[in-house]
Amino acid sequence: MTPSEAGRIVFVTGGARSGKSTFAERRAAQSGPGVTYLATAQAFDDEMTDRIARHRADRPAGWVTHEEPLAVPAALRAVTTPAALLDCLSLWVSNLMLAGHTDEAVLDAADDLLRAARERGGVTVLVTNEVGFGIVPDNALARRYRDLLGWVNQRAAAASDEAHLIVSGLPLRLK
């Protein structure tokens, strides 16, 4: 890791299966040896259990994996490797909502996460889904999620040093 990577935030967004995680993994690996992968997914069904297992198997052997669905800012503060890769903000926001957090509490947690990333001695790569391109959801919970994730994404993008939109496997650098 170079000194210029200290406290650096890299924001990576895109749709489902857009290639954002692959791009984020490559970007994290550029920071040198030592990546901690912070996973926010929880397995509530067989398909998600299989998906998590595939993701674990695909990660490089030297990477540290820490699975944390809720206390992500604290988990990030505990990372000592040059790079931290958080995959993903989208599931984290969903987890917080389902745990009963208010919108204000979720936004406060996002601000705390961004502070933790800025205070780190290394780069933090944040992966998220871009859910605002679709139709207006037909129920209040889905609309709340779309809006709340949109606000979290705006904060993360504004705080980032780099921002990338991934479409069909192709990265577009936004900043």
Residue of 55, 66, 101, 164 with catalytic role: 55
> Is 164 labeled as catalytic in the residue annotation?
no
For the chain, state the CA radius of gyration: 15
Helices (H), the chain: 20-29, 46-58, 72-77, 89-98, 103-119, 140-159
Contact status, residue 156 vs residue 9, Cβ threshold 8 Å: yes
Q: CA 91, CA 80: separation in Å to the nearest integer?
A: 23
Closest CA to 15 of 155, 162, 153, 160: 153
The residues carrying an active-site annotation are 55
